[in-house]
Amino acid sequence: MFASTNYTSTAIRNYTIAAVTVLTLSIGIGELFNNPDRIATQNTIDNYTSYLGAGLVSYAQSSLK
């Protein structure tokens, strides 16, 4: 079976395998990056940064007195 295949069909098969692999990996990486749990954690961290910044400013002001 494989002995009768020519270069064109082998090239098409290899390009198809490569395209499917890239598509699968990109979808998987996209799902990891856009995971709702990770986004919720990032939003929580973003919300607390203002409190941390205010705490650091308050500490710096009190240490300069």
pLDDT in tens, 4-59: 668 888 889 999 999 999 999 988 888 877 777 877 888 888 888 888 888 888 88
Looking at residue 44, its amino acid is T
- Give me the residue spans of the domains in the chain: 1-34, 36-65
**How far is Cα 38 from Cα 59, in angstroms, rounded to an integer?**
31
**How far is Cα 22 from Cα 62, in angstroms, rounded to an integer?**
55
Q: Is the pTM of this model over 0.75?
A: no
pLDDT of res. 53: 86
